[in-house]
């Protein structure tokens, strides 16, 4: 005959293992669900990254080409180069600076051009264009950060 104490220990151990199996199955289900969520998040991240890369590529200025060679879209100001060779948005910036009664800040130029200057992401590209015009000799930047036309 079987020892009742041994039978009781076997039954208790089986109950412990059943409980442990249930906990492990629950934990495994949670792990699988989280892995599925991570896979979805990874796909979304890849799609958004691709879209951003496409947007950046399409928004990046394409260099002008003459005879298959890249040329500067904002030429240096020299005696033979006319203002009309500048892209239209740069011509408007020059006109706005000229119309001002004196040296102007980028924010004032933005106001004149109808740019929402309260939004930094819209003002900074304008400031970059003003600096590019300074670098190419079309404008002058004063030490206090204001811009003026060259004489």
User: Cα–Cα distance between 124 and 58 in angstroms, integer?
Assistant: 19
More confident: 40 or 66: 40
Neighbour-count burial of 134, counting CB atoms closer than 10 A to its CB (0-12 exposed, 13-18 middle, 19+ buried): middle
pTM for the model: 0.53
- Residue 102 near residue 149 (C-beta atoms within 8 A): no
pLDDT tens for each residue of 9-60: 999 999 999 999 999 999 999 999 999 999 999 999 999 888 888 776 655 4
Give the chain's count of helices (H) and strands (E). 4, 4
Which tens digits make up the pLDDT trace of 1-13? 678 899 999 999 9
CA distance 33 to 29: 6
């Amino acid at each position: 005959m079987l020892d009742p104490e041994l039978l009781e220990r076997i039954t208790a151990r089986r109950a412990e293992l059943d409980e442990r199996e249930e906990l492990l199955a629950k934990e495994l289900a949670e792990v699988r669900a989280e892995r599925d969520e991570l896979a979805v998040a990874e796909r979304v991240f890849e799609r958004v990254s691709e879209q951003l890369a496409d947007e950046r590529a399409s928004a990046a200025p394409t260099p002008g080409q003459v005879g298959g060679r890249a040329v500067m879209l904002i030429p240096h100001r020299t005696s033979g180069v006319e203002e009309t060779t500048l892209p239209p948005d740069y011509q408007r910036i020059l006109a706005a600076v000229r119309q001002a009664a004196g040296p102007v800040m980028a924010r004032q130029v933005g106001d004149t051009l109808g740019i929402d200057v309260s939004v930094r992401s819209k003002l900074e590209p304008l400031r970059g264009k003003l600096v590019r015009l300074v670098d190419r000799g079309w404008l002058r930047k004063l030490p206090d950060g204001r811009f003026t036309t060259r004489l």
